[in-house]
């Protein structure tokens, strides 16, 4: 069964304290992996697409990496405005050339001033 597992469930950081979020997956024949940010009361906001193992993407204080079994979202010197829930999702083939996303449960990040 295709699964996406995120850890930790929640993470509290002091402002400026760097850390990493983990996303492990068991989707067969991986065709990309997505990271989203979700603020309270809002829909998921797209951050990154990672296409293949070894790829890295960066945006401001965030860097996403991908291996054959997992992905990491590294947060360098976080600020309070980085507080959000971060979601990981992997596409799985659903037939007729279409793909459906399997989402992890998310990591809730709180950055304390």
Residues that bind other proteins (CB under 8 A): 4, 31-32, 34, 36, 41-46, 49, 51, 87, 89, 91, 93, 96-106
CB 6 within 8 A of CB 105: yes
Q: Do residues 70 and 24 touch, judged by C-beta distance below 8 A? A: yes
Instruction: Using the minimum distance from each CB to other proteins, give the nearer residue, 22 or 32.
Output: 32
Least distance to other proteins from the beta carbon of 36, Å?
8
Nearer to other proteins, 41 or 113 (CB): 41
How far apart are CB 89 and other proteins at their closest, in Å? 8
The Cα 43–Cα 24 span in angstroms is 23
Structural contact between residues 31 and 99, judged by C-beta atoms closer than 8 angstroms:
yes
Nearer to other proteins, 42 or 59 (CB): 42
Smallest separation, CB 87 to other proteins (Å): 8
- Output b/e per residue, 83-98; b: 16+ Cβ within 10 A: bbbbbbbbbbeeeeee
């Amino acid at each position: 069964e295709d699964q996406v597992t995120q850890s930790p469930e929640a993470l509290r950081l002091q402002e400026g304290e760097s850390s990493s979020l983990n996303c492990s997956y068991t989707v067969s024949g991986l065709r990309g992996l997505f990271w989203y940010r979700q603020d309270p009361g809002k829909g998921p906001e797209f951050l990154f697409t990672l296409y293949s193992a070894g790829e890295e993407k960066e945006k401001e204080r965030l860097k996403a990496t991908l291996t054959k079994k997992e992905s990491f979202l590294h947060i360098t010197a976080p600020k309070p405005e980085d507080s959000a829930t971060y979601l990981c999702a992997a596409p799985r083939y659903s037939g007729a050339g279409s793909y459906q996303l399997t989402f992890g449960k998310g990591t809730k990040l709180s950055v304390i001033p």
